[in-house]
């Protein structure tokens, strides 16, 4: 993406108007996504880096030094890591920040859970070197195809200890919020950001990997950006608010398509946007080095700092045919366009390299910026009980075990009732209009035999009751 001086000035003006860093960055990116190449919506990393570099000219050299140190540290202890084949697991929470129309378009609460489930499968396969489409990796690059040793689990405990399915749903007003100012071309800036009433809804970023799923648009634009990441080292290195650490995803580039009617951006329906953004979270750069289309010897040439990713001129789109040589120095095999840190369609992205893994593993090992996330696996376990809430809003479920039905009774009318299986998937829910004043009937005949959890949400508390369906 070519950043002109006028563009940078527009970014600076936007940042001055909106003091919260990510709001400014997010709005700036939405503005730029229309007034640059319209080939496809993009990741926001280039724009964040351009903004930081204006404030700190040493930004790119700091980035290069950090990646080089990570690779060296990993190479020193690589043998021990590979012998133990130890993996780390990181708790994830999805903050769904959409209006009701957008929620309905992706299938409501059940659709949200389906997207989450499919997304978790994709990132765990991609980061565990278990993606079936790896068979398409050219033989020239196959030996570099690596397992990151990183896995992800859905958070099932909120910061207050109560239970969660891993989805924190915030329903916005049906009308999109509008910034009062208009950009220089007279278009209004529209956004659905990760904030409600100006406040963060971040869960402790040292324990949870926060992912905000929202809408990104500008004027008549329907695509906006695909994703935007604030990595864990940004607070200490560049003064960011720690509550801004995490990933923003466009809701139409999130999860894996299951039907032909779901709203997805073309080429972005296999869940690889999050695979890409997680790479940025763990300190990877775009594979071509964000150098505005330069090869070695060209002015401004840069690289991604990874030893085993080929040098390439610029980002790739669609699904190129191997070999695709953009810089002669990388002949005969050319670009590694199937790398998750390129811009090809989801269906063509299939691998991380050993060098990229070195950087990511350094981030999650002892002393790394993301190490604390790996020490909170208990967050992924459902709480056994919530005794602090039992006396205030008790519930009763009968019969239990259930055969054809069960009845939930209570003293205070709930706002929501749902049934969750042991995988954390919601399998039944009642609309507010269907919830009775003293009890709610649940038909269990359509549910498979097994253990489930009934979640009853009240105004100020949630009750959970384990049930058995026979």
Catalytic residue positions, numbered? 277
Would you say 37 and 293 are in contact if contact means Cβ atoms under 8 Å apart? no
**Residue 445 has what DSSP assignment?**
T
Helix (H) or strand (E) holding 111: helix 108-127
DSSP string, 171-238: EEPSSPPEEEEE-TTSPEEEE--SEETTEE----TTT-EEEEEE-EEETT-S---SEEEE-TTHHHHH
Q: How far is CA 400 from CA 2, 254, 448, in A?
A: 63, 37, 15
Strands 246-250 and 227-230 turn out to be antiparallel
Tell me the C-alpha distance between 465 and 412, whole Å.
16
Q: String of b and e for 430-454 (b: at least 16 CB within 10 Å)?
A: beeeebeeeebebebeebeeeebbb
Helix (H) or strand (E) holding 46: helix 45-55
Q: Is the dihedral of CA 442, 459, 92, 178 positive or negative?
A: positive
Beta bridge partners of 154: 92
Tokens at 380, concatenated: 């992924």
CB atoms within 10 A of CB 141: 19
DSSP string, 280-324: HHTT---TT-SSSS--TTSTT----S-TTSPP-SS---S-PPSPB
| Of the candidates 145, 68, 140, 143, the residue with the CA atom closest to the CA atom of residue 330 | 140
């Amino acid at each position: 993406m070519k950043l002109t001086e006028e563009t940078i000035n527009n970014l600076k003006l936007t940042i001055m108007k909106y003091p919260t860093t990510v709001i400014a960055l997010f709005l700036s990116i939405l503005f730029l996504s229309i007034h640059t190449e319209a080939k496809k919506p993009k990741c926001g990393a280039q724009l964040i880096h351009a903004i930081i570099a204006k404030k700190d000219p040493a930004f790119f050299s700091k980035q290069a030094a950090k990646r080089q140190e990570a690779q060296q540290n990993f190479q020193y202890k690589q043998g021990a890591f590979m012998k133990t084949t130890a993996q780390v697991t990181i708790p994830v929470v999805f903050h769904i920040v959409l209006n009701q129309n957008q929620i309905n378009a992706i299938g409501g609460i059940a659709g949200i859970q389906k997207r989450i489930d499919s997304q978790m499968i994709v990132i765990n396969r991609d980061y565990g070197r278990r993606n079936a489409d790896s068979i398409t990796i050219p033989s020239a690059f196959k030996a570099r195809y690596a397992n990151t040793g990183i896995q992800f689990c859905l958070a099932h405990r909120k910061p207050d200890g109560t239970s969660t399915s891993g989805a924190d749903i915030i329903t916005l007003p049906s009308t999109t919020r509008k910034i009062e100012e208009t950009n220089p071309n007279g278009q209004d800036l529209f956004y659905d950001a990760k904030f409600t009433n100006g406040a963060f809804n971040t869960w402790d970023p040292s324990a949870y990997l926060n992912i905000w799923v929202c809408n990104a648009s500008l004027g008549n634009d329907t695509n906006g950006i695909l994703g935007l990441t604030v990595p864990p080292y940004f607070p200490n290195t560049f003064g960011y608010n720690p509550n801004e650490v995490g990933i923003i995803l466009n809701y139409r580039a999130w999860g894996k398509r299951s039907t032909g009617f779901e709203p997805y951006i073309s080429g972005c329906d296999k869940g690889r946007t999050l695979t890409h953004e997680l790479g940025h979270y763990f300190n990877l750069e775009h594979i071509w080095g964000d150098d505005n289309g330069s090869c070695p010897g060209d002015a401004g040439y840069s690289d991604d700092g990874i030893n085993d990713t080929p040098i390439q001129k610029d980002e790739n789109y669609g699904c190129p045919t191997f070999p695709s040589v953009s810089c002669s120095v990388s002949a005969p095999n050319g670009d590694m366009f199937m790398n998750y840190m390129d811009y090809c369609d989801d269906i063509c992205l299939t691998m991380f390299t050993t060098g990229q893994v070195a950087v990511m593993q350094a981030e999650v090992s002892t002393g790394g910026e993301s190490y604390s996330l790996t020490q909170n696996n208990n967050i992924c376990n459902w709480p056994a009980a919530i005794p602090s809430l039992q006396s205030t809003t008790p519930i009763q479920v009968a019969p239990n075990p259930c055969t054809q039905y069960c009845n939930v009774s209570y003293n205070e009318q709930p706002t929501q009732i749902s049934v969750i299986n042991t995988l954390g998937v919601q399998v039944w829910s009642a609309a507010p209009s269907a919830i009775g004043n003293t009890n709610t009937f649940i038909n269990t005949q359509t549910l498979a035999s097994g253990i489930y959890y009934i979640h009853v949400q009240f105004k100020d508390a949630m009750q959970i009751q384990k049930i058995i369906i026979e």
